[in-house]
Structure 1
């Protein structure tokens, strides 16, 4: 449904619909009510991107972030906001939490705020409901996703190859003789599933079956370090042992390290996201850097290209980098 469809159903000109959308006084009350009724019946959300262009743009970008208190999400939002501000755009931030219903609600909220485009930090598991929410939003404005994947028209993605990073790390650990590799994780977002896939592929390629996986999902909703510490202790209490640990987030790595250290267990530990948590641990934790600043720069460039009518790649994939510290050296 677009402005032409609305005009046809209401029996008015496209110019009249445009005037209604822009609250112009140059339209009769009768025509205004007719157009508004059709839009309400069809559930039409005005294409604010087009309106913004006609009004020299509202120069505002919506940022959708799952959990703003998360150090990694906060870093991404900070980079994005700074880059957009440098290019003359204001931002509106919506923190959605982990519930899909809230994501859909906040996408609608940002559209109602007349943003020129929406930039999302990460994406969920890519189920049909999430895809439908993004498709609806992308039908109105360009959408760019940082380190997430949504396959829909007018949606652009800047991604880190996290699956490849974990796969390479598992291969390196196995090459060094660590045959019992544990993987601790917390989310099943697109990013989380890619990391988990890399772990499983690495083991499978070495001939290690599903029964030799050591996987632990950590509940990090409240205090991630404490949760990881407690759940690591729980798995150790069962008699389970492992010779190396990969954690899907530095917070998980820190909590696990504390539990292992208390039992005088010293094994290679590798975290993810290269955050300050890894640097402040004792010993300092090696961590896979997902190059979030580079991803944000790429995402904002994709967005600017689209807004300015230049061709933009739909998918950009960059490599991660292992930052080596005391907990594991190649």
Structure 2
């Protein structure tokens, strides 16, 4: 059934049906109710293409992430997709992987499909995106970077002050009497670098000249956590606390330390980052830096919507994390 059939059955003109479908223009309440009854009875679903031709917009947007399986990205992508769908957008979710060419291949695909807005999730895209090609592929398309930053006219950013969050963690440990604090990096992405810089700044304030030497490098996840645990107890400094760039790595390290006979937090205090669900169900529950992924997701959607509808031209927002204190410190 098409719009002509609906108009005939409702006894109205095609333009009247169009006004009801697109919620534009005046239609009396009685006529509108009659048309809606015909639509409901026939289970009519308007064509997105046809509506796009009338409204001038297809309302298709993309959420681009490196790996949606990552707990933090899974949560933020889910919230963004739900919010955008609720606003009436068709949402494409893209997983680019960590290679630059693969990332640009996805962005070329989005350009060919003429998406009307893009959210890039994560600071990895600072390195993965080719700014010159991106500006050519999507010159007029609003792009929001969730916790990343590219210096392009079409790109707006919402950043999390990761360094501030780590400074809160260092202060908390110092207040609890810890003096041999380490920092564990399981990635080199921009957000992790900001966390590291926050650690160095706060440790310098406390008079530690060897802060750089207290940074331990490992991988993400199970093996990275196990390796970090061995570094923590194997160092001559005999660390009594460790701050991690990710919750999951922190939890695997904590499990390894417990299996080695160390008590958490009596022997070694542990702090993670992201306030993931894992941090709440670990044993013991993990003290973590809440970088407010829910707020980041909501603000990213709000900013993109404002940019696409002309309600806002430019914006630069910064979110300040909080420390969630649980039983590992």
TM range, normalised to the smaller chain? 0.7 to 0.9
Question: In 2, distance between residues paired with 1:125 and 1:217?
Answer: 22
| Cα separation, 2, equivalents of 1:178 and 1:285 | 17
| 3-state SS, counterpart of residue 93 of structure 1 | strand
Q: Which structure 2 residues correspond to residues 302-321 of structure 1 after superposition, within 5 A?
A: 302-321=303-322
Correspondences of 1:101-140 after superposition (within 5 Å): 101-124=101-124, 126-127=126-127, 130-140=130-140
Asked whether 1:263 is paired with 2:264, we answer no
Q: Which structure 2 residues correspond to residues 1-330 of structure 1 after superposition, within 5 A?
A: 56-124=56-124, 126-127=126-127, 130-210=130-210, 213-220=213-220, 224-234=221-231, 236-237=233-234, 239=236, 241-265=238-262, 266-328=267-329
Shift of 1:283: 0.8
Shift of 1:77: 0.8
Gaps of 5+ in 2: 1-51
TM-score, L = length of structure 1: 0.76
Gaps of 5+ in 1: 1-51
**In structure 2, how many angstroms separate the alpha carbons of the residues matched to 1:215 and 1:53?**
56
State the aligned residue count.
274
Q: Distance in 2 between matches of 1:308 and 1:148?
A: 23
CA distance in 2, matches of 1:144, 1:137: 15
- Deviation string, structure 1 residues 80-100 (Cα, Å, up to 9, x no partner): 100000000011111011222
1:211–1:192 Cα change, 3 Å:
closer
Equivalent position SS for 1:213: helix
Greater C-alpha Rg: 2
Instruction: Note the C-alpha offset of 1:313.
Output: 4.1
Give RMSD over aligned pairs: 2.2
Provide TM-score, normalisation by structure 2. Answer: 0.77
Change (3 A) 1:212 1:192: closer
Going from structure 1 to structure 2, the CA distance change for 1:85 and 1:198 (only over 3 Å counts) comes to same
For residues 130-158 of structure 1, the C-alpha deviation after alignment (integer angstroms, 9 at most, x for no partner) is 43354344414111011112221111111
